Amino acid sequence: MSEEFEYYINQSVAILIDGNNIELSLQALLNKKNALLDFDILIPKLLNNRGLSRLIYFREGKQISSKLASRLLDQFHGSVVPCHKSADIPLTIKATQIAQKVDTIIIMSGDSDYIELVRHLKGAGVRVEIAAVQNTTAQILMEEADLFIPITEEDCYILKTYRTKRGSKQ
């Protein structure tokens, strides 16, 4: 006779997104320039019944979509951080700053530049998960992480573009 137990997972999770890396990976996966993450599908999948402590989308460039920023704030109390060049350094700094405040950090990037960050966080006792498109993710990063979560076609959508009267896309 076996007894059934109900488990309550009380883990706080931070999701740190290398926006440029993920966007390029999605575009390669779907072979479409207007492929974007569907956060409503992906975030619950990543959390897997754990609590979201922070969600930060690091994006290279001065032009940050106000719609993306509003959406992340409204739905997930998240934020978008513009980066001067790449997201590597700002994301790494933020991860080390919050490491003592969360149980798990999910890094959304397949960039092998994050391998030393993963090793550092794990050495500090933080569970590190990588979520990325598998065929554009460095093998060493997948192996070093506590868990690799593949981002698939089902986790994205294609942004529809419309033509104005003059024929230009909007």
**CATH architecture of structural domain 12-158:** 3-Layer(aba) Sandwich (3.40)
Sequence spans of domains, the chain: 12-158
pTM of the model: 0.87
The H or E element spanning position 54 is: strand 51-60
Phi, psi (degrees; rounded to nearest 5) at 156? -130, 175
d(CA 166, CA 170): 11
Contact call for residues 26 and 158 (beta carbons, < 8 A): no
CA angle centred on 18, ends 90 and 87, rounded to 5°: 30
For 31-84, write each residue's pLDDT tens digit.
888 888 889 999 999 999 899 999 999 988 766 677 777 888 888 888 888 888
